[in-house]
Amino acid sequence: MYLFVIRAFTRRSAPFGTMAFPMKLSDKLAILADAAKYDASCSSSGGKGRNSLRSGGIGSTEGMGICHAYAPDGRCISLLKILLTNFCVYDCVYCVNRRSSNVQRARFTPEEVVELTMEFYRRNYIEGLFLSSGIIQSPDYTMEQLVRVARTLRTEHKFGGYIHLKTIPDASPELIDAAGRWADRLSINVEMPTAEGLKSLAPEKDLGDIRSAMGRLRLSIDEAKAEKKAPKFAPAGQSTQMIVGADAATDRDVLAASTNLYTNYHLRRVYYSAFSPIPDASKILPLKPPPLVREHRLYQADWLMRFYGFRADEIAPPGDSGMLSLEVDPKRAWALRHRESFPVDVNRAPRDMLLRVPGLGVKTVDRMIAMRAHQRIRYADLIRLRVPVKKVAPFVETVDHRPRGDHESAALQRDLREPAQPDLFG
Amino acid sequence: MLGVRLDDASDAEAWRAKARALLLAEVDPSQVEWLAGPDGGLFGSDDAMPEPRHAQAPAVPRDFLSLVNSVLAHSDPRRHATLYRMLWRLTHGERNLLAIATDDDVAWAHTCVKQVNRDMHKMKAFVRFRELPVDDGTVYVAWFEPDHDIVTRVAPFFVRRFTGMRWSLLTPSRSAHWDGTTLSFGPGAKRGDAPSGDALEDLWRTYYASIFNPARLKVDAMRREMPVKYWKNLPEARLIPELVRDALPRMQAMVEKQPTVPRKKVTPLQKAAVDAPEGSLAALRKQAKDCRHCDLWKPATQTVFGSGPADARIVVIGEQPGDQEDLAGRPFIGPAGKLFDRALEEAGVDRAALYVTNAVKHFKFEPRGKRRLHKRANAEEQAACRPWLAAEIDRIRPEAIICLGAMAAQAVFGASFRLMAQRGQWLDLPDGRRAMATVHPSYLLRLTDEKAREEGYADFVRDLRLLRNFL
């Protein structure tokens, strides 16, 4: 009897999460933040501005998100990113919280999440809350709990900060409507770039269900935007995440999937998450992660598609391995494949062509265009504009500069080595 | 040399007043010495400003005024003089100066603005309030050390955000206070004036340590965005050395650890089975969801199956779903669907009594930026979809069928059907059903000539009236 009591008290919780004694809040936070960190999104931007001047409450969003801290993984900490619970009835192979994993389990009450959010927010640690959850009992039950947290924050605490809710595709449309009413952003993860990848790694998820839920979200978001008097619906739009390197999909597959998602559902962002080793990994998974630079290249490519007018098939042209070069960034790689389009005359070229010059960003290009209405751009101006001259010079022409011909071009071609065969599965 | 004194070195109003007076008096920038704040005390007061030579100062671009506002917050002691020189150049023949990004003064000003904005942004990010109990409640107090004189500029942000709290922002040069209704500014403070800790910081550190992923150490990226100079005022920063040190061993341990077998069986979720008896319309709908008879499903959202009562007396067949139908999964809800609804109402036909479907059940489109341009399904795709349409008609057994547009008409009457010649006439199908074709509402939407559109619409409504006999 005595022994039993001692054991019960020294073990804060039973190993499988069946909690004989209530877990400390800090222990729950450690487990449920750890379980949430594989979701790359932490953005708190987008949407209409909102502040507390009239409500007298706490919280604001002003369009541009704020990163309140950075972790040593280089990632921004903007939101309190946690799961309501990491218990889950699904068995997605890549996920640390899959039902067959032996990780320690925990569960917050909605009230605990509300309290943590408010207390962190008051101290200016965070921009708001990003709440996700394992699926417990049923998709509707889980979604209802998430909605309850958001509703309590908004109505009982007059919380004006950012709320991002993970949306469960199978939840009923009424619950998703309610989520959109209180949240700034909703997201549904497509998880894998291809339908086959999803089927093999996330057997309970269905690409059709995910797309159909995203379609409904887009209609609701568009509708709320079109009519001023319509009730608010996720004013910061929807986003998604794809895991890279856990299946055999190529970068071309990934970018094709992103293009489809941006076009079909007007997503604000597609996040790419290089599959990262997790505690207690499934046997089916590669144990070794893909190189982090692969994820970086995909973000660069995504950026080129969204802001620089590139199409996916220009970045990952049909015919080759379908993988982006790990050594050369995708913009430079395109330029090297299209030497015939260069050099670009910075004094004459249209904006969309200037944007294709490696090393020239949107801001610099716009400054050049404003400037050249009044005076001709010279080589020294490039330096004053702080462009990376070494990188840019071979691709541009100024009043007093023309890149030398073959010699330099040959050196550049050497730079574009064959992309190293990515080492996917160790 | 003319000495011009400013009490508050970053007060934009004060600088503008002096600069305006100098400009009116045509004082060349090289003749002005700007003296600001305590350093200006040598002179005590302004030299007498020369008599104005103009009645009115020339107009200055709005961009310049906002530039002045930002640049004055910068700590560079040359800012007053440089801004006046820029003002002078703007009003003495160089009106487009600000567009010349490579000009030394302009480049300098842009750099100042960038640094001030970054400083303000980092202050919004890295201020950490600590709770201070007072007699009548709680005040949240933060100590922060900005690089530039930004407190007055950034304080309104904190008012908008923390309206419902009482708070104080303390910095070495100024302080700002919000009592719930009024914002006030005071002199600089010392670190010791703010609380030295907060009970919640342990929990915050727990979060910081747990959200960090040791498998992807990128210390340089962290330092770039959260420079070390800020660390001393960030409660979480003291964890960084330990987290970095342990990252690699933690990751190796994860990789080396053998996969485990589940210790406990969690029952998988049983998805509620849709009640769809074999051979029913509902079963058909379910099958069609995963149709792969052609490639149209690949970029599309979903199969847009017909909708309406399973025992409808009339089946309406359109051509193919569009953007909105693809997103919603229901036929005829977009612009063409709305026109169809309006025409039905005018014709006195209740849409709820109709079963509405399409000849092709997936949206075919070409992506163009963020838009999806409608493309007509080709003969192969139309043929691949025909079994679904046939099965729908077979399950519903309607008395009449109405085809909207040529694609639907040819699916029902065969390829030789000529829509414009045979529209609006009931024809008998081999199975004894009556069928009729009319135009597709999207055809009416495409007509640019208003008169033609009105006439076309009237004809369309007249055709739809023929349906009333079956209801």
Between B200, B260, B269, which is nearest A119 by CB? B200
Candidates A280, A426, A72, A75; CA nearest to B214 is A72
Q: What is the reported pLDDT for A419? A: 42
Quote the Cα angle for A186-A190-A194, to 5°.
160
Please judge whether B216 and A280 are an interchain contact, meaning their C-beta atoms are less than 8 angstroms apart.
Answer: no
Q: Which residue has the higher pLDDT, B207 or A228?
A: B207
Please judge whether A72 and B217 are an interchain contact, meaning their C-beta atoms are less than 8 angstroms apart.
Answer: yes
Q: What is the reported pLDDT for A125? A: 98
Residue B340 near residue B313 (C-beta atoms within 8 A): no
Extract the residue ranges of chain A whose pLDDT is less than 50.
1-19, 407, 417-426
Please judge whether A122 and B162 are an interchain contact, meaning their C-beta atoms are less than 8 angstroms apart.
Answer: yes
How far is CA B376 from each of CA A371, B316, B320, B392, B448, rounded to the nearest angstrom? 46, 19, 8, 22, 20
Mean pLDDT within B42-71:
84
- The nearest alpha carbon in chain A to B373 belongs to A263
Q: What is the reported pLDDT for A16? A: 42
Mind telling me how many Å the CA of A135 is from chain B's nearest CA? 9
Q: What is the reported pLDDT for A13? A: 39
Q: Which residue has the higher pLDDT, B401 or B260?
A: B401
Burial environment of residue B232 by CB neighbours within 10 A (0 to 12, 13 to 18, 19 or more):
exposed
Calpha distance B272→B255 (Å, rounded): 38
Calpha distance A222→A189 (Å, rounded): 20
Residues B252-308: tens digit of each pLDDT = 887 777 666 666 666 666 665 556 677 899 999 999 999 999 999 999 999 999 999
Q: Which residues of A touch B251 (CB under 8 A)?
A: 277
Between B125, B211, B326, which is nearest A71 by CB? B211
Residues A268-317: tens digit of each pLDDT = 999 998 887 777 777 777 767 788 899 999 999 999 999 999 999 999 99
Query: Which residues have a Cβ under 8 Å from the Cβ of B418 and sit 6 or more positions away?
Result: none
Mind telling me how many Å the CA of A315 is from chain B's nearest CA? 15
Three-class DSSP category at B428: strand
Q: What is the reported pLDDT for A48? A: 76
Three-class DSSP category at B210: helix
Mean pLDDT within B340-367:
96
Please judge whether B221 and A74 are an interchain contact, meaning their C-beta atoms are less than 8 angstroms apart.
Answer: yes
Please judge whether A281 and B202 are an interchain contact, meaning their C-beta atoms are less than 8 angstroms apart.
Answer: no
Mind telling me how many Å the CA of A320 is from chain B's nearest CA? 22
Between B124, B222, B371, which is nearest A71 by CB? B222
Q: Which residues of B touch A375 (CB under 8 A)?
A: 100
Three-class DSSP category at B198: coil
Q: What is the reported pLDDT for A406? A: 53
Q: What is the reported pLDDT for B23? A: 94
Backbone φ and ψ for B392, nearest 5 degrees, come out as: -60, -50
Return the H-helix or E-strand segment holding B372: strand B371-374
Calpha distance B211→B205 (Å, rounded): 10
Cα R_g (chain A), whole angstroms: 25
Average pLDDT over all residues of chain B: 92
Q: What is the reported pLDDT for B11? A: 93
- The nearest alpha carbon in chain B to A210 belongs to B301
Q: Which of A278-282, B49-53, B100-104, B113-117 has the lowest mean pLDDT?
A: A278-282
How far is CA B343 from each of CA A153, A326, B153, B449, B463, rounded to the nearest angstrom? 46, 58, 59, 19, 10
- The nearest alpha carbon in chain B to A81 belongs to B211
Please judge whether A52 and B289 are an interchain contact, meaning their C-beta atoms are less than 8 angstroms apart.
Answer: no
Backbone φ and ψ for A415, nearest 5 degrees, come out as: -60, -35
Three-class DSSP category at A57: coil
Query: Which residues have a Cβ under 8 Å from the Cβ of B301 and sit 6 or more positions away?
Result: A211, A212, A214, A215, A264, B326, B327, B329, B363
Q: What is the reported pLDDT for A1? A: 35
Between A33, A58, A66, which is nearest B162 by CB? A58
Q: Provide the ipTM.
A: 0.90
- The nearest alpha carbon in chain A to B197 belongs to A123
Mind telling me how many Å the CA of B389 is from chain A's nearest CA? 21
Please count the other Cβ atoms lying within 10 Å of the Cβ belonging to residue B307: 15
Residues B297-314: tens digit of each pLDDT = 999 999 999 999 999 999
Calpha distance B414→B412 (Å, rounded): 6
Backbone φ and ψ for A215, nearest 5 degrees, come out as: -60, -45
- The nearest alpha carbon in chain B to A283 belongs to B259
Please judge whether B268 and A91 are an interchain contact, meaning their C-beta atoms are less than 8 angstroms apart.
Answer: yes
Q: What is the reported pLDDT for A291? A: 86
Packing angle, helices B104-126 and B62-71, rounded to 10: 60
Question: What predicted TM-score, i.e. pTM, was given to this entire model?
Answer: 0.90
- Report strand pairing: B434-438 vs B427-428: antiparallel
Residue B432 near residue B402 (C-beta atoms within 8 A): no
Between A51, A99, A282, which is nearest B161 by CB? A51
Mind telling me how many Å the CA of B255 is from chain A's nearest CA? 6
Q: Which residue has the tokens 């080492």?
A: A423
- Mutation test of the interface with chain B: which of A78, A82, A263, choosing the one with the most B Cβ atoms within 10 A? A263
Query: Which residues have a Cβ under 8 Å from the Cβ of B118 and sit 6 or more positions away?
Result: none
Between A31, A56, A89, which is nearest B266 by CB? A89
pLDDT band of residue B230 (cuts 50, 70, 90) is very high
Residue B154 near residue B124 (C-beta atoms within 8 A): yes
Please count the other Cβ atoms lying within 10 Å of the Cβ belonging to residue A179: 25
Calpha distance B223→A172 (Å, rounded): 44
Q: What is the reported pLDDT for A421? A: 41
Q: Which residues of A touch B129 (CB under 8 A)?
A: 122-124
Provide the token pair at A142.
């889980």
Between B257, B266, B372, which is nearest A263 by CB? B372
Mean pLDDT within B38-47:
58
Please judge whether B208 and A283 are an interchain contact, meaning their C-beta atoms are less than 8 angstroms apart.
Answer: no
Residue A188 near residue A240 (C-beta atoms within 8 A): yes
A211-250 in b/e form (b: 16+ CB < 10 A) is: bbbbbbbbbbbeebeeeeeeeebbbbbbbbbbbbbbbebb
- The nearest alpha carbon in chain B to A82 belongs to B211
Q: What is the reported pLDDT for A412? A: 59
Please judge whether B216 and A282 are an interchain contact, meaning their C-beta atoms are less than 8 angstroms apart.
Answer: no
Q: Which residues of A touch B211 (CB under 8 A)?
A: 33-34, 36-37, 71, 77, 81
Residues A225-247: tens digit of each pLDDT = 998 888 889 999 999 999 998 88
Please count the other Cβ atoms lying within 10 Å of the Cβ belonging to residue B244: 16
Mind telling me how many Å the CA of B113 is from chain A's nearest CA? 15
- Report strand pairing: B167-170 vs B174-178: antiparallel
Between B100, B164, B243, which is nearest A375 by CB? B100
Mind telling me how many Å the CA of B38 is from chain A's nearest CA? 34
Helix residue ranges, H only, A290-354: 292-307, 312-315, 330-337, 351-354
Q: What is the reported pLDDT for B39? A: 55
